[in-house]
């Protein structure tokens, strides 16, 4: 096996240079404990103006910049994967700060678990949540394979999986789809708790619109994998509504000082509406 470089980190970005700057700082050879001869970093830039190119040329000469396809995050990640030299591929989002031992932990896992082709890193928030409209893809126990921190063998990603599905209508569910296809193929995924990144809470300014887009992506996922209708159905969304509204919105209102509560209530009841949608759809098919 060629070990130089063994790990290729792909970072998709689009007009977020300040966040990208902090992410690259955390991956620099002076920060990471893994020797720089064992890894490379590729930034695939989906901005119309290729805004990250100058940043990388001026401040991160050790990073490879490539132009993105301007077709969304899934296509941008696939594009970055086409430009790597390593045999292992790590996806990191541009708003993540990597732990200094992230790449060392990934390389150690490759050497220790030689039958495993997919490794899932953990994702921690940078602080406690303090607003209903803040979001962060937390993954501290595994079982998610969120696209902002995982490693996969390049041959598997490009060969059997053929990368992320670029046909999802919005930037949602493509990592869930990849995870499900891996499970259907019977491939084991090893969770690495210590291979972690810090993901900040992000203020979701259009929570309602984003929720509707995610639902439309879910409908595409179900069309692609109709067997999942037994899991993602009316009862599924009814449980989301109950857990979100009763166990979160009502319970956390005073703690969050009611910040964003009106938008959160609308968000909750949208899921009740999704539940009704699937109930109507089921009855219509009968």
At 39 the pLDDT is 96
Render pLDDT for 216-226 as a digit per residue (tens, 0 to 9).
Answer: 999 999 999 99
Last residue of a domain, one of 166, 183, 203: 203
Mark whether 122 and 160 lie in a shared domain: yes
Order the strands of the 63-67 sheet from edge to edge.
63-67, 39-45, 7-13, 88-92, 149-153, 118-125, 189-199, 97-98
For position 28, what pLDDT does the model report? 98
Residues 29, 153 share a domain: yes
Give bridge partners of residue 66 from the DSSP assignment: 44
**Cβ neighbours for 136, distance < 8 A, ≥ 6 positions apart:** 123, 125, 126, 129, 199, 200, 201, 202
The answer to whether position 1 is within a domain reads no
Q: Give the whole-angstrom CA distance, residue 6 versus residue 40.
A: 8
Determine contact, residues 106/7, Cβ cutoff 8 Å.
Answer: yes
Whether 122 and 182 map to the same domain: the answer is yes
Quote the percentage of the chain above a pLDDT of 90.
Answer: 93
**Alpha carbon of 252 to those of 129, 255, 266: distances in Å?**
10, 5, 16
Residue 280 has what pLDDT?
86
> Which band of pLDDT confidence, cut at 50, 70 and 90, is reported for residue 2?
very low
- Residue 73 CA to residue 256 CA, distance in Å, equals 32
Asked if residue 85 belongs to a domain, the reply is: yes
Strands 97-98 and 202-203: unpaired
275/180 same-domain check: no
Is there a single domain that holds both residue 211 and residue 244? Answer: yes
- Looking at the 3D structure of the chain, how many domains does it have? 2
**Residue 284 — very low, low, confident or very high, per pLDDT cuts 50/70/90?**
low
Residue ending a domain, among 180, 203, 226, is 203
Domain that holds residue 11: 7-203
The 10s digit of each residue's pLDDT in 154-207 is 999 999 999 999 999 999 999 999 999 999 999 999 999 999 999 999 999 899
- Does the residue 87 lie in any domain? yes
CATH number of 125's domain = 3.90.550.10
In this prediction the pTM is 0.93
Asked which of 184, 203, 222 is the last residue of a domain, the reply is 203
pLDDT tens, 113-154?
999 999 999 999 999 999 999 999 999 999 999 999 999 999
If asked whether residues 165 and 281 sit together in one domain, one would say: no
**pLDDT tens digit sequence for 54-77:** 999 999 999 999 999 999 999 999
Say if residue 79 is in the same domain as residue 142: yes
User: What is the DSSP secondary-structure string of the chain?
Assistant: ---TT-EEEEEEESS-HHHHHHHHHHHSTTT-SS-GGGEEEEEEE-STT-THHHHHHHH-TTEEEEE--SS-HHHHHHHHHTT--SSEEEEE-TT-EE-TTHHHHHHHHHHH-TT--EEEEEEEESS---STTEE---BSSSS---TTEEEEEHHHHHTTS-SS-TT-SSSSSHHHHHHHHHHHTT--EEEEEEEEEEE--EE-TTHHHHHHHHHHHHHHHHHH-GGGGGTSSHHHHHHHHHHHIIIIIHHHTTTTTTTTHHHHHHHHHHHHHHHHHHHHHHHHH-
Residues 105 and 216 in one domain: no
Whether residues 280 and 262 fall in one domain: yes
217 and 183 both lie in a single domain: no
Query: Are 65 and 93 in the same domain?
Result: yes
248 and 187 in a common domain: no
């Amino acid at each position: 096996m060629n070990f130089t470089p063994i790990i290729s980190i792909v970072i998709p970005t689009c007009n977020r240079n300040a966040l990208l700057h902090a992410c690259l700082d955390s991956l620099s050879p002076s920060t990471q404990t893994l020797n720089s001869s064992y890894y490379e970093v590729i930034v695939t830039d989906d901005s119309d103006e290729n805004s990250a190119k100058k940043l990388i040329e001026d401040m991160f000469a050790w990073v490879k910049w490539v132009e993105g396809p301007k077709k969304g995050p899934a296509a941008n990640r696939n594009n970055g994967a086409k430009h790597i030299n390593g045999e292992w591929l790590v996806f990191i989002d541009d708003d993540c700060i990597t732990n200094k031992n992230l790449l060392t932990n990934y390389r150690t896992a490759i050497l220790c678990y030689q039958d495993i082709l997919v490794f899932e890193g953990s994702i921690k928030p940078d602080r406690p949540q303090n607003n209903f409209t803040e979001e962060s893809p937390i993954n501290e126990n595994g079982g998610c394979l969120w696209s902002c921190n995982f490693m996969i063998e390049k041959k598997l990603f490009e060969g059997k999986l053929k990368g992320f599905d670029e046909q999802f209508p919005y930037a949602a569910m493509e990592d869930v789809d990849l995870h499900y296809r891996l499970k259907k193929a019977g491939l084991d995924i090893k969770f690495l708790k210590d291979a972690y990144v810090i993901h900040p809470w992000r203020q979701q300014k259009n929570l309602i619109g984003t929720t509707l887009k995610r639902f439309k992506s879910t409908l595409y996922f179900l069309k692609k994998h109709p067997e999942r209708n037994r899991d993602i159905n009316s009862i599924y969304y009814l449980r989301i509504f109950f857990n979100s509204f009763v166990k979160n919105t009502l319970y956390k209102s005073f703690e969050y000082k009611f910040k964003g509560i009106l938008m959160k209530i609308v968000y909750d009841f949208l899921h009740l509406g999704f539940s009704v949608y699937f109930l109507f759809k089921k009855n219509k098919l009968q």
